[in-house]
Chains A and B, each alone.
Chain A
Amino acid sequence: MSVEVTREHGDARVVGESRGDGGSSAPAADASDRPADPPSAGSCPAGSCPAGSCPAGSRPAGSRPGFVRRYRLPLALGFVALCLYAVSILYILFGRGQIA
């Protein structure tokens, strides 16, 4: 499981890979893998557990993936959007001969 939930304001953060079968390399955790009464997935802030003592669903301190890795899908989509914006202008500038 790769989703951490910080309870304050219901803020859920994706900290890793897919939970479903969406083509992710990370295995989706099965509910049976969890502790029956999770203290746990979400009760400690991201990266705050000492290594080795993390309940399921949390990551040891220092193992949090970098910003780009964590947000690669939204960053990629945002990049595509910016490229489309730029291309629509550059196409007219250069492709349609507005700058010749």
Chain B
Amino acid sequence: MSSSHDDVVHHSADEAHDAHEHHDHHEHGPAPGLMRWVTTTNHKDIGTLYLWFSLVMFFIGGAMALVIRAELFQPGIQIVDPMFFNSMTTMHALVMIFGVVMPAFVGLANWMIPMMIGAPDMALPRLNNWSFWIMPFAFAILLSTLFMDSGGPAGGWTLYPPLVLQMGDSFAYVIFAIHFLGISSVMGSINIVATIFNMRAPGMTFMKMPMFVWTWLITAYLLIATIPVLAGAVTMLLTDRFFGTSFFSAAGGGDPVMFQHIFWFFGHPEVYILILPAFGIISSIIPTFARKPLFGYDSMVYATASIAFLSFIVWAHHMFTTGMPLAGELFFMFSTMMISVPTGVKVFNWVATMWKGSMSFETPMLFAIGFVIMFTIGGLSGLMLAMTPADIQYHDTYFVVAHFHYVLVPGAIYSIMAATYYWLPKWTGNMYDEKLGKMHFWISTIFVNVLFFPMHFVGLAGMNRRIPDYSLQFADWNLVASIGAFGFGFSQLMFVWIVVKCVKGGEKATGEVWEGARGLEWTVPSPAPYHTFETAPDIGPASVTR
């Protein structure tokens, strides 16, 4: 435990361990067998369920990506028919967004938020159980459409009408799945807000909360505000498709562009839902391995809130090519550019935190630094896309694909991997294999750039997205990207190996785990007991809790 930490946090890991043993005589551990996982209301169990679910979906969504890249390895139709290719692009996105990144962040929130704020559990544990168990059923429904006669959804994850209304009857399953996923997300978000508001330990003021808790609080509000709007939009699609309404059908007096407005009113905040918790994770990891407090904590909080606010007023930058008044184009262009200001504050603060720090480069830090560099690349291409005249050229090209994959893969996914390596010793009580972890980072980083960087080139040259075939001039860079895809995909098997190896055993972790770690989660033993903070920690005015 760091010396600065010793004098401020209520009790050491050893004391916590003693206290834990003291209560053992009436300790109820997890229920035995499979029912433990079905009926659990323990935040750690549910966090674990979310994380494993996310990992499984990561490989399902990744397999879909490899089908796409295999087809694009060469020009021409090689492996799958175009309809199935379109299903793969659609399902890959839905799985990765709703089945991987969001559940992984919710899993991390479940594990860490109660421990970070000194709470014994989430505020609404049964709701928590429901939030998780809805998801596997929702994804079973969604994935089952691939085996139906009319095939899976193939109109893109944005579900634009009128194209998506041409789908077969399996469309109803897709809509129901999205509704269930939305219900799960909203319930999870309500739980997180209620937990943060009601369950903080005495003395844990808002401005003492770790950044991960702050970013999740703001993300939860974004989810509550936007998911119902998506649900409303897809309900209207359902009635247009099956019940003869014309919300979005021009033939019946409806407006297809209206769907795009509603969808992106959800969709753009969704982008920040996928990245704000990542900001919180990186803000936890960098100070630990730089052995300095986070630079500009207050400005980080305000920047996060600013990003969340701005995310509601930029949605039409996704729709510049649909045609809108000049004033609208200017408004959405400048409001989008404004997001780079609070985002820049964050990047500056991370760099300033590292500046003159006693840095060490364990695997979580490597992933965190990789995040900062490559997320910034994605942010810069986003700034290019914000410019209306430029966007009209880039729209629906691989340049856009490169942009959002840089934000989501070496961005969101890297942050999840960084978080896993960072907190895995706390979860399992064992240290992971550092050498393998570093190898995983470097192999992933090489291949992820081989995969996505060439997409900038083919995109700027005019290659369309969501098309299974392409012109000959794009062949070379597509070949390179496909090699990168298979390299990146298979290198993730290393991640599974490292995690499983760590779960099974390894060098025992201390309570603090990392020398520079701060915060309540490091004051409990490793692995974290099944029940933590049943007696709330005492947090004084000088306590370092973040």
* A and B co-occur in one complex: yes
| Contact of A89 with B194 at beta-carbon distance under 8 Å, contacts A19-B201, A19-B536 already known | no
Contact of A12 (CB < 8 Å), options: B26, B120, B204, B231: B120
Contact of A31 (CB < 8 Å), options: B191, B258, B538: B538
Residue among B122, B125, B191, B198 facing the most chain A CB atoms (10 A cut-off)? B198
Contact of A22 (CB < 8 Å), options: B206, B224, B227, B535: B206
Shortest Cβ distance from A78 into B: residue = B190
A20 touches B531 (CB 8 A): no
Chain A residue contacts of B236, Cβ below 8 A: 89, 92
Contact of A5 (CB < 8 Å), options: B44, B205, B206, B534: B534
Shortest Cβ distance from B10 into A: residue = A31
B193 within 8 A of A: yes
A73 within 8 A of B: yes
B535 touches A88 (CB 8 A): no
Chain A residue contacts of B28, Cβ below 8 A: 7-10
Shortest Cβ distance from B534 into A: residue = A5
Interface string of A1-23 (1 = CB under 8 A from B): 11101011111111001111110
A11 touches B126 (CB 8 A): yes
CA distance A22 to B194 in the complex (A): 11
Q: Count contacts on B: residues with CB < 8 A to the other chain.
A: 64
Chain B residue contacts of A88, Cβ below 8 A: 228-229, 231-233, 262
| Contact of A21 with B205 at beta-carbon distance under 8 Å, contacts A31-B535, A85-B229, A88-B229 already known | yes
B339 within 8 A of A: no
Chain A residue contacts of B200, Cβ below 8 A: 18-22
| Contact of A9 with B41 at beta-carbon distance under 8 Å, contacts A20-B204, A31-B538, A81-B186 already known | yes
Q: How many A-B residue pairs have CB under 8 A?
A: 166
B235 touches A84 (CB 8 A): no
**Cβ of B123 to closest chain A Cβ, rounded Å:** 5
Chain B residue contacts of A18, Cβ below 8 A: 197-198, 200
B232 touches A3 (CB 8 A): no
A98 within 8 A of B: yes
Interface size class of A (residues with CB under 8 A): 35 or more
Question: Which of B247-255, B314-322, B359-367 interfaces with chain A?
Answer: B247-255
**Cβ of A14 to closest chain B Cβ, rounded Å:** 5
Chain A residue contacts of B247, Cβ below 8 A: 92, 98
Q: Which residues of A (15-65) have their CB < 8 Å from a CB of B?
A: 17-22, 24, 28-32, 34, 38, 41-43
A9 touches B203 (CB 8 A): no
B27 touches A7 (CB 8 A): yes
Chain A residue contacts of B44, Cβ below 8 A: 10
**Cβ of A37 to closest chain B Cβ, rounded Å:** 8
| Contact of A85 with B231 at beta-carbon distance under 8 Å, contacts A20-B205, A74-B190, A98-B253 already known | yes
B119 within 8 A of A: yes
Chain B residue contacts of A7, Cβ below 8 A: 26-28, 531
Shortest Cβ distance from B40 into A: residue = A9
Residue among B190, B231, B246 facing the most chain A CB atoms (10 A cut-off)? B190
Other contacts beyond A98-B246, A98-B254: 5, CB < 8 A: A10-B125, A10-B530, A20-B204, A78-B190, A83-B228
Q: Can you report 10 residue pairs joining A to B where beta carbons are below 8 Å apart? A: A3-B536, A8-B28, A9-B28, A20-B197, A20-B206, A31-B537, A31-B538, A74-B191, A74-B193, A84-B225
5 nearest A-B residue pairs (beta carbon): A20-B200, A88-B232, A12-B121, A10-B42, A85-B228
